[in-house]
Amino acid sequence: MQELSASKLAEYAIQSLLDKKAFDPILMDMRDLSNAPADFFVIAHGSSDTHVEAMSDELIRKVRTELGEKPSHVEGKENAEWILIDYFDVVVHIFIEEKRKFYDLESLWGDAKIQSFALEAK
């Protein structure tokens, strides 16, 4: 995946999560880090396992139908406390809030450039 399309996919993932009312979505640009597992991490959390699963299902569907990309790997759908959607250069992490706080990927990869997003008030 080229850098431009990785950036586009990451931004598209953020928008998909915002459309499903994700909490505290962030985009971590990890391209300048050595040994980073991907160019971008997208991280957000939901209010329940049902919310987490709905966000992941919608993101996978939208990316497949609108961008023509399928994830190389999906983990965590069994209990939906942490669903990981791997698009090689973009890895999406959707948590329930307690698991997000526990694993704290934002601190683990704290040298990454982090951009926060918020739902727009209507």
At 119 the pLDDT is 65
Where does the pLDDT of residue 2 fall: very low under 50, low under 70, confident under 90, or very high at 90 and above? very low
β-bridge partners, 28: 41, 114
Q: What is the mean pLDDT of residues 44-68?
A: 95
Task: Please check the confidence at residue 1 and state whether its pLDDT lies above 70.
Answer: no
Mean pLDDT over all residues of the chain?
Answer: 91
Task: Please check the confidence at residue 121 and state whether its pLDDT lies above 90.
Answer: no
Amino acid 23 reads F
Where does the pLDDT of residue 62 fall: very low under 50, low under 70, confident under 90, or very high at 90 and above? very high
Collapse the DSSP code of 29 into the 3-class scheme (helix H, G, I; strand E, B; otherwise coil) and give the result.
strand
Fold classification of 3-114 (topology level) = Beta Polymerase; domain 2 (3.30.460)
Angle between helices 3-19 and 49-62 (to 10 degrees): 140
Task: Please check the confidence at residue 4 and state whether its pLDDT lies above 60.
Answer: no
